[in-house]
Amino acid sequence: MIPPRLTSDLALFLDFDGTLVEIAPTPDSVVVPDHLPGILAETADALGGALAIVSGRTLDDVTRYLHPLVAPGSGSHGVERRRADGSIAAPDPEIGRVAAEIIAGVAAEIGTQPGLLFEDKPWSAALHYRGAPALEAECIAVMQRVVAVYPGWEVIIGKMIVEARFAGFSKASAVDAFMQEAPFKGRVPVFIGDDRTDEDGMQAAEKHGGYGIKIGEGSSIARYRLTNPQDVWNYLAASRV
């Protein structure tokens, strides 16, 4: 189950929360170790730039946390994407308008309850219940009811979070798009992630002849496993191409 060392023919796709950094009580309380941007930059150089961060967070958020690194990446579960040349594949502004409506509808229905955190992202709508795990079923049910009236939208469930996103975008769609472009095209993709939504990215990696690496416990289609983000840092640092 231990993943093989990285080789120069790979394309590496990395989730952020729970993979590169430990999951925190709130999205804005994550701690990024000082050495992480450097490890990622060195790994990207060794792979000819074929490294991308694929996250449910926005691109701006991930870039802010990994400063000074500005890597190719996908944010908001595939809705937005920064190509290797720095150009941005931006979504239709209508997606943002509907996302704001959805989170407002969820907030109106579930009300203010201790431990819940509403996250009004630019391109999706998220409700965190890490501080109130007993409300999981209610949070999911409310999100599903609100989203049901918006054609083309779907509900995804992660670690203590339920989120609405525009269907057709996912971490799989992000991997598919990158694999059509240099420097990712023609390489063997590896997707490293810890959450349910990362399984989509792993499936895409397998489709393109690669594999997944699961972080932590739980069922997964991944071929290999690592224990936690520190294992990921050590793996990247030890896997110099």
We report the CATH number of the domain holding residue 44 as 3.40.50.1000
pLDDT band at 1 (very low <50, low <70, confident <90, very high): confident
Boundary (domain end) residue, out of 120, 135, 166: 166
Q: Are residues 208 and 229 in the same domain?
A: yes
CA angle, 121 then 139 then 122, to 5°: 5
Q: Are residues 159 and 183 in the same domain?
A: no
- Asked if the structure places residue 155 within a domain, the reply is yes
Return the beta strands (E) in the chain as ranges: 10-14, 51-54, 73-75, 80-82, 88-89, 117-120, 125-128, 153-158, 161-166, 188-193, 211-215, 224-226
For residue 112, what pLDDT is reported? 84
β-bridge mates for residue 126, sequence order: 119, 163
CB 139 within 8 A of CB 164: no
CB 103 within 8 A of CB 139: no
Phi/psi of residue 195, each to 5°?
-110, 175
Number of folded domains that form the chain: 2
- Asked if the structure places residue 5 within a domain, the reply is no
- Asked if the structure places residue 228 within a domain, the reply is yes
- Asked if the structure places residue 33 within a domain, the reply is yes
Look at residue 202 and tell me whether its pLDDT is greater than 90.
yes
Choosing from 15, 61, 194, 195, the catalytic residue is 15
Domain range holding 102?
Answer: 93-166
**Is 195 labeled as catalytic in the residue annotation?**
no
Q: Are residues 128 and 14 in the same domain?
A: no
- pLDDT cut 70: percent of the chain above it: 99
Q: Are residues 117 and 77 in the same domain?
A: no
Q: Are residues 59 and 147 in the same domain?
A: no
Strand bridging mode 117-120 / 80-82: unpaired
110-119, 138-147, 209-218: the lowest-pLDDT one: 110-119
Buried b (16+ CB within 10 A) or exposed e, 51-85: bbbbbbbbbebbbebbeebebbbbbbbbbbbbbbe
Q: Are residues 162 and 184 in the same domain?
A: no
Q: Residue 144 maps to which CATH number?
A: 3.30.70.1020
Boundary (domain end) residue, out of 133, 166, 199: 166
Boundary (domain end) residue, out of 139, 166, 193: 166
For residue 241, what pLDDT is reported? 57
pLDDT band at 240 (very low <50, low <70, confident <90, very high): low
Q: Are residues 102 and 160 in the same domain?
A: yes
